[in-house]
Amino acid sequence: MLAALSAVPAVGILTGCSGTADASEGTSAQATTAAAATKAKVKKPTVSVTPADGTKKAAFTSPVEVTVSDGTFSTVEVTGNDGSTLAGSFNDARTKWTSTENPYSGTKYTVTAKPQGATAQTASFTTKLPGETFVGYFTPEANSTSGVGMPVSINFTDAVTDRAAVEKAITVSAEPAVEVVGHWFSDTRLDFRPEEYWAAGTKITLSLRLKDVEGADGVYGTQSKDVTFKIGRRQISTVDLAKETMTIERDGSTLATYPVTGGDSDHTTWSGIMVISERLKETRMESSTVGLGDEYDIEDVPHAQRLTTSGTFIHGNYWASTSIFGSSNTSHGCIGLHDTKGANDSSVAGYRFYNSSMLGDVVIVKNSGEKTVEASNGLNGWNLSWANWKAGSAL
């Protein structure tokens, strides 16, 4: 009987031991399962890029967008194979980055996006080339020095229908600073000038940011560059055709006064403010090119300086009697100064005035008997009031 009774506790102890082991193993298994579940809930951040990774002909008319799910961004960089970078900004949650400008056309971009606490992810795409393009040819030339009347004049190879977009992409700035405003003379011409003539010694910078700007439907600009030029001394020449004289003022002082001849009563000279836009030591002048038939054809006109697109010049004259200069107006509309054949005589007025002049110098004509020249006829926008000039801006 004892033996039988003493066996019962033994069984109970084993059973108890066995039960304790099972509970421990169950707890461990539950912990492992919970850890696995927790790990399963923590997802890796996933980055998406628009345009999509690998795109070969992506649009360049929309900004680049980079988004992350299951995370937030630490950094995003977008670089082009041309060395350029696209700036951008994050949303408040730092789950989306958007470029502040559109990508350039014909460029391969690499996107490097690093989520917080995760490895950086990369993607790349290439933008397509525009189908049709336009450029703007500008005056004056880069690194040149011009007179105080020289505007910045841009002629486009294609008609511009979105004038505001194009004008917004062009900036003209000056040192010393002055307000500079654009004026559209046509769909292909945009000029810039301040209210008054430039100050002598001014440095001017033309900034063209026309690349991928849509000037007309499906026609995009290609230029992205800065151009600088300088303004030289201040020279203003005033031609009074009632007196047949021209007085040249340089930096506020009278430099010289020359006798001249202007247009006769049948061919009056334009009045108004004109700017020298071309300089030729010698050139051929033929009446048929300005609608005057075969009235003249002179192959070696000396010291010719253009004042209008339509054909008005101030030039030397060797074929007329010296007595007409300062006494009568006998030309076909140009302003003539006494000169000699060959353009090499430094003693005559034609040579001296040409030698003292530069592109962009101002020539004012008064008492000519003719109306004021159109502002678009040459570089002659100074004939518009400041209010009328500003009214021609698209901005």
Model confidence at 303: pLDDT above 60: yes
Tokens of 290: 């300005």
H helix or E strand, kind and range, residue 351: helix 349-356
What is the predicted pLDDT for the residue at 6? 38
Tokens of 292: 């005057």
- Which of 262, 219, 211, 218 minimizes the C-alpha distance to 84? 211
Which residue would you say has higher pLDDT here, 149 or 289? 149
In the predicted model, what is the mean pLDDT of residues 41-46?
Answer: 83
What is the predicted pLDDT for the residue at 10? 39
Residue with tokens 């004892």: 2
Max CA pair span of the chain: 164
Average pLDDT, the chain: 91
Is residue 34 left, alpha or beta, with left meaning phi > 0 and alpha meaning psi from -120 to 50? alpha
Secondary structure string (H, E, C) spanning 173-232: EEECCCCCEEEEEECCEEEEECCCCCCCCCEEEEEEECECCEEECCEEECCEEEEEEEEC
What is the predicted pLDDT for the residue at 296? 81
Distance, CA of 288 to CA of 82 (rounded, Å): 51
**Range among 26-40, 46-60, 282-296 with highest mean pLDDT value:** 46-60
Three-point CA angle 248, 359, 327, nearest 5°: 35
Confidence of residue 12 (pLDDT cuts 50, 70, 90): very low
In the predicted model, what is the mean pLDDT of residues 104-116?
Answer: 97
Tokens of 74: 């630490």
How many residues are there in the chain?
Answer: 395
Confidence of residue 353 (pLDDT cuts 50, 70, 90): very high
Half-sphere exposure of residue 200: CA atoms within 13 angstroms, side-chain side: 10
Distance, CA of 64 to CA of 47 (rounded, Å): 13
Distance, CA of 233 to CA of 393 (rounded, Å): 29
Distance, CA of 152 to CA of 230 (rounded, Å): 11
What is the predicted pLDDT for the residue at 289? 85
Is residue 169 left, alpha or beta, with left meaning phi > 0 and alpha meaning psi from -120 to 50? alpha
**333 close to 267: Cβ distance less than 8 angstroms:** yes
**307 close to 372: Cβ distance less than 8 angstroms:** no
Which residue would you say has higher pLDDT here, 74 or 290? 74
Percent of the chain with pLDDT over 70: 89
In one-letter notation, the amino acid at residue 165 is A
Convert 216-242 to b/e letters by CB count within 10 Å (16 or more is b): beebbbbbeeebebbbbebbbbebbbe
Three-point CA angle 361, 365, 370, nearest 5°: 140
Model confidence at 25: pLDDT above 50: yes
pTM over 0.75: yes
Tokens of 38: 């927790």
H helix or E strand, kind and range, residue 389: helix 386-391
Distance, CA of 126 to CA of 386 (rounded, Å): 46
**331 close to 324: Cβ distance less than 8 angstroms:** no
Distance, CA of 273 to CA of 197 (rounded, Å): 11
What is the predicted pLDDT for the residue at 43? 85
Per residue in 137-183, pLDDT (tens digit) is: 999 999 999 999 999 999 999 999 999 999 999 999 999 999 999 99
In sequence order, which residues have a C-beta less than 8 Å from that of residue 120 and are 6 or more positions away? 75, 112, 113, 114
For residue 296, give the 3-state DSSP assignment: coil
